[in-house]
Structure 1
Amino acid sequence: MSTEEIRGWFAGRLPADLFEELVEVVVDREEITVVGRIPAPALAEGVSEGERAATVEGRIAEFRERTRGARMSVAGEAERRFERKVSWGVECDGTRALFTHVAAPVMTRLRQPERQVLDLLVAGGVARSRSDALGWCVRLVQQHSDEWLADLRESLVQVEEVRRRGPGAPA
């Protein structure tokens, strides 16, 4: 199924009062991450940034506990249907929080110069292991290459559409 079809399934299946808005559904081979917007807490005028942040954090924690049963019920259905784990997240007053999500192992082969970079990150205390160092590198590329990665994602969507319309495709 395409990401749009999976997003559509969640949009139709989620309890109507779960989120104010379904913000994002991200799909890969192992996981589906569902992020929705929840109401911002009411704050008195002039509260400090620290109090605002703590109030939002509390609202997110309250939402997570209160909706656990409903979210797990939907996740169970989706996991059987799509054969992927489901993770959850929320946006509240400009803050995004992801709940427990999959950390999938990825096997890679690196040459010595690349391994030396990872080992330097470990020796410098930036990462606890080569695996952590590699994750750190991927996050750094993601932060500094958002526009390029967005262009690449869009081109892959176009490739998938061309494949879907290709020879042997259902009419």
Structure 2
Amino acid sequence: MITHEARERVAGWFAGRLPAEWQAAPADITIDREEITVRLTISDVELPEDASAVTRAEARAGRAKAFREETRGKRMEIAREAEHRFDAKVSWGVTVGAGDDQHRELWTHVAAPVMTRLRQPQRLVLDTLVDAGVARSRSEALAWCVRLVGQHEEDWLAELSEAMQSVADVRSKGPA
């Protein structure tokens, strides 16, 4: 479990290290045991009010691609510094626009293997997803299930994570 203090250290370091011109809003930083994900919100595209949803979506995708290419060297430098400082891989992402039609991308993020033991009823669920063509493998089917739970139980997971964070904070204040 990552402590609240560790999250604050990482967020504070990136707040001071990231160029201001990269941020239309403060960076969204997500941390787990393997990875620090830095999602930047960059300025939206300027289009006429009557621009279609397709035009807006493609313009935002183009803005994200241009930002990725133009900032690659500096992002790699910052990532190397952070990886050395915090002993975790750094991944990058970008958000362009606001609301339901915003464009979001993640780049070079970690796909960490996770081992699990499943009984036959759970394996049959995964096999059904594979046989139906929803996933290419049991591993991909399991990832699909995790994404689905994350989408449909977002509030509950956030509450659970907050409670776990409180436990981690209390533990960190105890004797060494």
TM category (shorter chain) comes to over 0.9
The corresponding residue for 1:156 is 164
1:14 aligns with 2:14: no
The corresponding residue for 1:55 is 59
Q: Which runs of 5+ in 2 are unaligned?
A: none
Q: How high is the TM-score relative to the length of structure 1?
A: 0.94
CA distance in 2, matches of 1:135, 1:104: 11
Indicate which of 42, 48, 52 corresponds to 1:44. Answer: 48
CA distance in 2, matches of 1:17, 1:49: 27
Contact residue 22 and residue 35 of structure 1 kept, 8 A: no
Contact residue 25 and residue 35 of structure 1 kept, 8 A: yes
Shift of 1:62: 0.4
The corresponding residue for 1:145 is 153
The corresponding residue for 1:29 is 33
The corresponding residue for 1:68 is 72
Q: Which contiguous aligned blocks of 4+ residues in structure 1 show a shift greater than 3 angstroms?
A: none
Indicate which of 125, 140, 164 corresponds to 2:133. Answer: 125
The corresponding residue for 1:101 is 109
Indicate which of 89, 108, 119 corresponds to 1:111. Answer: 119
Shift of 1:125: 0.5
1:84 aligns with 2:92: no
Deviates more, 1:130-139 or 1:154-163: 154-163
Q: CA RMSD in A?
A: 1.1
Shift of 1:4: 1.3
In the alignment of these two chains, the number of paired residues is 168
Q: Taking every aligned residue pair, what percent have the same amino acid on both sides?
A: 56
Deviations 1:1-37 (A, max 9, x none): 6111111111111123222222310001111000111
Shift of 1:81: 1.3
The corresponding residue for 2:6 is 2
Q: How high is the TM-score relative to the length of structure 2?
A: 0.92
Q: Which runs of 5+ in 1 are unaligned?
A: none
Structure with more relative contact order (C-alpha pairs < 8 Å, separation 6 or more): 2
